[in-house]
């Protein structure tokens, strides 16, 4: 931990405005909607997950990764517009009642405990009224908990990378094999040059624009065999130093609409990555650490 003169004031402001909502717009589909319809909603609304609801009651939730895993295991020849999303969704989604005072803390705890990216908000009748995502927790952390931790306290040191000259098919296989959302991209000498994510694949896919609904390779451009990772990279790479405030990393993620940032040391060498899951984990511990610090002082 390190000192911040405004941290106490920030925490007090948070307590006084505790019911302020950090929630994302809820995009829903019916259980009978097809995988194609669901993917189209994801692409149109720039989201990674959709609530499946029936008569305004949440019955499931599905992510782009869930769809990808399902298609890897499904041996039928059905096209994406022929498979109902109810066969893909995760049933009995995790919910929190909206009127609970500490709903943000409860959502963050459930995200870490169950390794999920969102928690659904319901009213006392069980009706769907909102959703809290890792993005919402990250936004809340950036506004509330400046000065609590450094990036190095929560960054992930294990790095999974690919080269910019690798094929798109290789990169997507690496993402799926390691159950992750992004790869750090390096040149042939190991210098970091960018990040490629599942969003990059979905954004550049020909699946929707070319009307190729019979294919199941919805993440890959039609000419993907001839494309390399560098073909989907943007020139701007955002990094953050390991000694920076974790709240700054959270702010960068929200401002630039990204979910992970490569971490460098003072010599600009790559030492890790910080993402929204790490921010959620920090959000879970910050109050406990404050209480221990106040109780034990310098001994903690």
Checking if the pLDDT of 64 tops 50, the result is: yes
Burial class for 238, CB neighbours closer than 10 Å (0-12, 13-18, 19+): middle
SS3 111: helix
Residues 6+ apart with CB under 8 A from 280: 108, 111, 112, 134, 137, 138
- Confidence label for 79 from pLDDT (cuts 50, 70 and 90): confident
Angle 238-42-83 (CA atoms, 0-180°, nearest 5)?
140
Residue of 61, 133, 63, 143 whose CA lies nearest to 104: 133
- The tens digit of pLDDT for each residue in 255-266 reads 998 999 999 999
C-alpha dihedral, 157 to 119 to 204 to 180, nearest 10°: 30
Asked if 188 and 41 touch (Cβ cutoff 8 Å), the reply is no
* Rounded percentage of the chain residues whose pLDDT exceeds 70: 81
Residues 6+ apart with CB under 8 A from 78: none
- The tens digit of pLDDT for each residue in 188-230 reads 888 888 899 887 887 777 666 665 555 666 776 656 667 899 9
Checking if the pLDDT of 95 tops 90, the result is: yes
């Amino acid at each position: 931990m390190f000192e911040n003169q405004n941290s106490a004031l920030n925490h007090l402001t948070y307590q006084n405005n505790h019911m302020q909502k950090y929630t994302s717009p809820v995009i829903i589909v019916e259980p009978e909607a097809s995988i194609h319809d669901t993917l189209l909603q994801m692409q149109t609304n720039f989201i990674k997950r959709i609530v499946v609801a029936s008569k305004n009651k949440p019955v499931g939730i599905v992510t782009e990764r869930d769809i990808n895993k399902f298609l890897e295991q499904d041996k039928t020849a059905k096209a994406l517009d022929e498979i109902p999303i109810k066969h893909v969704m995760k049933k009995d989604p995790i919910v929190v009642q909206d009127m609970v005072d500490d709903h943000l803390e409860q959502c963050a705890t459930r995200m870490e405990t169950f390794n999920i990216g969102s928690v659904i908000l319901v009213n006392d009748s069980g009706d769907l009224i909102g959703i809290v995502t890792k993005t919402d927790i990250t936004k809340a952390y950036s506004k509330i908990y400046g000065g609590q931790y450094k990036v190095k306290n929560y960054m992930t040191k294990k790095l999974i990378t690919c080269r910019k000259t690798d094929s798109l098919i290789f990169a997507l296989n690496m993402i799926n094999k390691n159950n992750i959302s992004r790869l750090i991209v390096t040149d042939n000498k190991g210098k970091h040059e960018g990040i490629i994510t599942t969003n990059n694949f979905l954004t550049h896919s020909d699946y929707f624009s070319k009307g190729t609904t019979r294919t199941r390779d919805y993440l890959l451009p039609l000419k993907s065999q001839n494309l390399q990772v560098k073909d989907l990279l943007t020139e701007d790479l955002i990094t953050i130093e390991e000694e920076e405030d974790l709240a700054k990393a959270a702010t960068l993620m929200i401002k630039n609409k990204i979910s992970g940032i490569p971490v460098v040391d003072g010599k600009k060498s790559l030492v890790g990555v910080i993402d929204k899951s790490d921010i959620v984990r920090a959000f879970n511990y910050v109050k406990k650490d404050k209480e221990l610090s106040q109780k034990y002082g310098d001994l903690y």
